[in-house]
Structure 1
């Protein structure tokens, strides 16, 4: 029964379209928080909250580089999450759905902000 709760908690997180889109984008590369802010047109605290939830369930890993935090996918041990992500469209379709053409911000390692 513990496995049911484990899987149910993960699927609950995937029930949010922003988190599902984030994980789908993370299939292809790592992303910085500032890039997600631009892509999803959300505040940095809102993006961080979504990523905190994903990290708490072990679905993403984070790496700090200077003041920027980069996230990468961490679902190798979660076949149920992998199965869901395999059904998702590629990053270009997700970005088109969000009315974005691609990453519109890049984090500059020695800067205090992202550049557009």
Structure 2
């Protein structure tokens, strides 16, 4: 019983995190491409601190992971997380967000941090 409760609590926490449209969209984007905060700032037209806060929450929950490339931090989906199957099942039902990255490319802002 105790194990089931912990799993249910964690699932509820993850679903609550993904209940935010910005974070849900970030995770859907990361399902197909790795991104840095600067790209999310452009995509969502939000401040860097606001975007960093969203990413930190996703990272703290184990949904995303970070990799350093020089001075930049690149985010990707954490596919080794115990909760990745839950996230993946959810993402299958959402529309693709690749158009957002294409718009960045067209504006010359894709991977602007490298």
- Alignment size in residue pairs: 105
| Deviation >6 Å, runs of 4+ | none
Secondary structure of 1:69's counterpart equals strand
Is the counterpart of residue 107 in structure 1 residue 112 in structure 2? yes
Query: Quick one: structure 1 residues 22 and 68, their matched pair in 2 at CA, closer, same or farther if it must change by over 3 Å?
Result: same
Could you say what the CA RMSD is over the residues aligned between the two structures, in angstroms? 1.9
Aligned equivalent of 2:13, options 6, 9, 14: 9
**Contact 1:58/1:75 (8 A) holds in 2:** no
Q: CA deviation at 1:81?
A: 1.4
TM-score (norm 2): 0.82
The two structures have a TM-score, normalised by structure 1, of 0.81
Greater helix fraction, Structure 1 or Structure 2? 2
1:114 aligns with none
Unaligned runs of 5+ in 1: 110-116
Q: Gapped runs of 5+ residues in structure 2?
A: none
